[in-house]
Structure 1
Amino acid sequence: MPRGSSPKRERQYEHIKDSELERGASKQRAEEIAARTVNKERARHGESKTASRSSVKDMSSAKRGGQRSHSGSQGPTKEQLYNEAKKRDIHGRSTMTKKELERALGR
């Protein structure tokens, strides 16, 4: 934690670090995530001397809460589509592309 951090930010840092460790992150990675998160919150609340534009303008991590997770999701995998086509006994499924399997399954 940077010098001059408030006790609240110290507690926040420890809480985030502990949470990351519980999720299986390495100690170094947990400390990095905690420091980045706390520094961003300090910047948002005017507690730091300098702040990047993204730290101030971006949606807060607390508010975001995983909204961006899986934003590039492409739906079911080709293997999942193939297995469903197999259950429905769709002929020619082994040579179909993912898009063809989706069409054959009516997706």
Structure 2
Amino acid sequence: MPRGASPKRERQFEHIKESAEKRGASMGRAQEMAARTVNKERARAGESTTASRTSVRDPKSAPQRGGQRSHTGAQGPTKDQLYAEAKKRNVEGRSTMTKQQLARALGR
């Protein structure tokens, strides 16, 4: 934590760090995640002297977003699932097909 951080930010840092360690992150990685999160919150609250544009102009803070940008969403069935269905339907040439080709052959 930066020198002069408020007690609230210190508690927040410790809470995030302990939570990450419980989820299996290494100590160094947990500290990094906690520091980044707390620094972003400090920037949003105007407590820091420098801040990135995304830290300040983001529509929601990280806890409020709740992982909205963590991935692109479901991509449908896996290639293995498509292959298994193609095998059931006895689709010819399935072993050399890509995921997209399997989906097309199955009419998806």
TM-score, normalised with respect to structure 1: 0.88
Deviations 1:58-105 (A, max 9, x none): 231112111112217643332221122113332331232222210122
Unaligned runs of 5+ in 1: none
> What is residue 31 of structure 1 aligned with on the other side?
31
Which residue of structure 2 lines up, in the alignment, with residue 16 of structure 1? 16
Provide the C-alpha distance between the structure 1 equivalents of 2:71 and 2:89, rounded to a whole number of angstroms. 29
RMSD in angstroms over aligned alpha carbons?
1.7
Tell me how far apart the structure 2 counterparts of residues 8 and 84 of structure 1 sit (CA, whole Å): 54
- Per the alignment, residue 4 of structure 1 pairs with 4
Q: In the alignment, is residue 42 of structure 1 matched against residue 53 of structure 2?
A: no
- State, as a whole percentage, how many aligned pairs show the same letter: 74
TM-score by length of 2: 0.87
Is there any run of 5+ residues in structure 2 with no aligned partner, and where?
none
- How many residue pairs get aligned? The number is 107
| Greater Cα offset, 36-45 or 5-14 | 5-14
